[in-house]
Amino acid sequence: MMGRLFDREPGYREALYAEAQALVDDGLDPSFVLGLYPDDAGWLESLLQAAAVIGETFATGEPSYYFEASLKSRFLAAARERMEERPLTPLQRVRTALAAATVMVGAGAAGVLTLGMVTANNAVPGDWNYTFKLANERMQYSLSRGNDRVNVQLSHTETRVQEIVQLSSRGGVTAADLEKLQNDAAALKAHLETALLDEEQKARIRALAENSAAVLGDLQARRADLDAAVVSTKRTLDDAAAAAGVGGVATVTPIPTATATATATTEPPAEPSASPSATPTPGGSPSPSPSPSPSPEPSTEATPGTTPGLPAATPGTSATN
């Protein structure tokens, strides 16, 4: 149909009618002309009759010179007339102002909506166009079906992780932001428990688990006030990864601060255990020292008075003499 609009070549009927009309204009009788085209006489007769009526109408109603001149003069006179300005009533002014304001507000809202939708892809929580981003995600989720909904929810969870990265670089991560990530991870886990995943989806989930582990581990090291929220979010992401049959987040995360305090408490007991072992030695040193000290002292003093070559029994023999 569109090709016929730009097709300037006449078709079969157009060419046949032009040929028959030319014969009639040359003075041939229409009935004779129709006899030359017996197969097309049915539709060709009506066209020839219409052309004859139109020709007769133009012949009887030709305008005169004076008619054309008077029509032209009236047209020029109407062109010189000016429209009179009629003052508006207060009610009409209010209506006009309201109509203009409505048009301006509608145009502004359409512009803001368009700008928000276009620039919302890189928005993060706190930006003016972040609401448009969430609305676009909800629309995508509502329009998805079957296994495609798993891909949509997986993309949303990946987006939440990227938002945490951007907010962490600014130092503006809050517990509410981690809660959004946890909610999307919980929704993803619910889909993964019943869905049949392909290898590409499993690879994406594995990459999500590794990236989120690194991001949350870095955040936990820098923000001790968000420790509880980070641990809860880790656990939810770990459950989602386990539901997909891939490695969880807990194997990649650093050791929590609570276990570090427990290792510090085990070191002090080693010091008091060594100190009691040293305390009995001073208590036992005075008991053996007095017992050997009196026995060697008299023996060493008696030896110089006796003859050096005699044995120790010489004092007994001298006493008997």
pLDDT digits (tens, 9 = 90+) for 129-166: 898 899 989 999 999 988 889 999 999 999 999 999 99
Low-confidence ranges of the chain (pLDDT < 50): 1-2, 248-321
User: Per-residue DSSP letters for 220-280?
Assistant: HHH-GGGHHHHHHHHHHHHHHHHHHTS--STTTSPPPHHHHHHHHHHSTTHHHHHHHHHSH
User: For residue 195, what pLDDT is reported?
Assistant: 85
pLDDT in tens, 225-253: 888 999 999 999 999 888 888 764 444 34
List the end-to-end C-alpha distance of the chain, in Å, as a whole number.
162
Q: Confirm if 208 and 184 have CB atoms less than 8 A apart.
A: no
The pLDDT value recorded for residue 105 is 92
In terms of Cα–Cα distance, which of 224, 231, 227, 229 is closest to 249?
231
Q: Is residue 173 within 8 Å of 219, Cβ to Cβ?
A: yes
Q: What is the pLDDT of residue 127?
A: 87
Q: Which residue type, as a one-letter code, is found at position 149?
A: R
Domain boundaries of the chain, sorted by first residue: 7-82, 130-261
- CA angle, 77 as apex, 75 and 78 as ends, to 5°? 65
